[in-house]
Chain A
Amino acid sequence: MLVAPPKTEVAPPVVKQSQHPKGTLFLIGLYGVVFAAAWFAVYFFVYLRRGGVTP
């Protein structure tokens, strides 16, 4: 008589609670740099170059 092999339970994904989200911190930090760089680029190379007029 054939006996079915015991089913192996698939463990649910383990959600680690103690780790810092290093990848997220890296991405957010990178975004902060791009954000500031883009703002200053428009400020220096577009706004000031056109005379820096304030309404």
Chain B
Amino acid sequence: MTRSDRLSLAHLWVAIAAFGVASAMALMQALSRASLDLPWRSAKMYYLSVTAHGVLMALVFTTFFIMAFGYVVVSRTLDQEPTGLKLAWAGFWIALVGTLMAAVTVLSGRATVLYTFYPPLQAHPAFYIGLTLVIVGSWCWSVVMLLSYRTWRGTRPDRPAPLPMHGMIATVIVWLIATIGVAAEVLFQLIPWSLGWSKTVDPVLARMLFWYFGHPLVYFWLLPAYVLWYTVLPKVVGGKLFSDPLARLVFVMFILFSTPVGFHHQFMDPGVSAGWKLLHTFLTFAILFPSFITAFTVTASMEVGGRAKGATGLLDWIGKLPWRDPLFSSVALSMILFAVGGIGGAINASFGMNAVVHNTAFIQGHFHLTVGSAVALTFMGAAYWLLPRLSGRELELPLLARVQPYLWFVGMVLFSFSNHLTGLMGMPRRIYDASYGGSTVAAAWRGLTGLSAIGGVFLFASAAFFMLVMLGTGLAGKRITPQRVEWAEPLQPAAPGRGWFDRYWVWTAVAVVLVLIAYAYPLWMHLQMTRYGSPGFKPY
């Protein structure tokens, strides 16, 4: 095993462990919302588990998986070890210590602030410091990724960046721009406030800074999934990538448009004028386009693969695809769920219409189709593909691996669609007891919350299958010669020289200008207003 693979594996195992704990928390929530009389059920336990699920799934599982995959991309596309291995390991340990600090604080009931940690809900300082360390660890990863690319570029000045690396560099740029917001919020507001150095906090400013980070965070999760869709999936289906330039264009568009969109999470907030919210609405619709292009290009790549196997009709190529391969089925099913999530996203992002779905169960229905499906299901599928290649062990329990993506799909359809509907019927999100003391309005949600709970059971079973396969492979998998990590070739050869898509400094500069246009004036205006701070609240 190479030093780079050992580094990737360490990150992958932390991601898998976080996923396992987070999944257990999710089952408890789904059953609680259906008002099932569980012996340990309480509001305190419910909100603790919502926080743990969100933090471990959305912040820890994703970040560690992405870091693992980033190092795989460096070693397998640039044909070199990551530049700065010591820094990479330092980043791993810093992020791991931070994860443990945050997780222990949450699980011991001292940070029940949900994964968005909106003030004036207040957590123990160890929670904020722990999350800061996770971010610092990810910055170390970002620096290693950029240094590795620079090392490669130094010896190959006239070649285009390999497409997987192009996607990961875009991920790093989006992440570095986005995390400025959360770093400012945590370092200048939340840590001093939680330590008692300041008595009050400005919740509106904190929310502006959080959502400056919070929406591009979605693209930090999504871009590595897109890298897998573009550069691994066509190979798995026996085809070729339909268009290399379209794929490169998509990643550049994400660099440009990922960040200046955060106000669409704050349409109901005071402190931001309607004009600025409308600007962010338009920019949010702009960010839909790269995903539309992705849907076309990746599906076309699958069609190329299906036709290479003899399909001739309009849609019979779908039947030629390798539906028993867990990587393929994970990605294909996650794309179907993501397509539905895109519709909900357009409704969320519409300035007026947002009023009917804001803070309702519609939102959790939506993001479980995006991060909970497009991202998490893709990452699970990728883990089946990666773990044997990194560890040199054969995938154990292949039947469970084959069934697991379909279980996830069924569970997510039941869970997410019922939450969309109850949201449109007015059911709030993040509520411990959906019966509202027996109100007649809440009674109408009852059947759907039961359906959502059944979906939760399917999802938990799927997650358990995934964990069994991972642990079985890691602990007892038969030793094999690892297969090579292979990337898809484009249908038409990529342009030979270093093109405009590789001019990352240019795209970063344009992205920063867009961020300044979208955020500088509203932030400055907010800081000019009379601001009212709030003391901290710890309901549990």
Chain A residues at the B interface, C-beta cutoff of 8 Å: 13-17, 19, 21-24, 26-28, 31, 34-35, 38-39, 42-43, 46-47, 50, 52-55
Contacts and interface: CB of A to CB of B under 8 A. Distances in A.
A14 B308 contact: yes
B47 to A, nearest CB: 27
Contacts of A23: 303, 306, 313-315, 317-318
Interface in B171-224: none
Contacts, number: 83
A13 B305 CA distance: 9
Interface in B354-400: 354-356
Contacts of B277: 55
Chain A to chain B: the 3 pairs with minimum beta-carbon distance, closest first: A13-B308, A21-B300, A24-B300
30 contacts: A15-B239, A15-B307, A15-B491, A16-B308, A17-B492, A21-B242, A21-B300, A22-B314, A23-B317, A24-B296, A24-B300, A24-B302, A24-B303, A27-B299, A28-B292, A28-B299, A31-B339, A35-B346, A42-B424, A43-B350, A46-B353, A47-B352, A47-B355, A47-B356, A50-B356, A53-B352, A54-B352, A54-B355, A55-B274, A55-B355
Contact of A26 (B295, B314, B491): B314
Contacts of B315: 23, 26-27
A46 B355 contact: no
B307 A38 contact: no
Given A21-B242, A23-B317, A47 B346 contact: no
Given A15-B307, A24-B300, A34-B343, 20 more contacts: A15-B304, A15-B491, A22-B314, A23-B314, A23-B315, A26-B315, A27-B315, A28-B296, A31-B295, A35-B343, A39-B350, A42-B356, A43-B353, A47-B352, A52-B352, A53-B352, A53-B355, A54-B274, A54-B352, A55-B268
Nearest to A22: B314
A28 to B, nearest CB: 5
A13 B424 CA distance: 48
Interface residues of B, number: 40
Interface in B271-325: 274, 277, 292, 295-296, 299-300, 302-304, 306-309, 313-315, 317-318
Interface string B329-357: 00000000001001100110011111110
Nearest to A43: B353
A48 B479 CA distance: 62
Contacts of A28: 292, 295-296, 299
Given A13-B308, A19-B307, A46 B356 contact: yes
B267 interface: yes
Contacts of B492: 17
Contact of A13 (B238, B303, B346, B350): B238
Given A55-B267, A55-B274, A24 B352 contact: no
Contacts of B313: 23
Contacts of A27: 299, 315
A42 B308 contact: no
Contacts of A26: 314-315
B343 A39 contact: yes
A22 B242 CA distance: 13
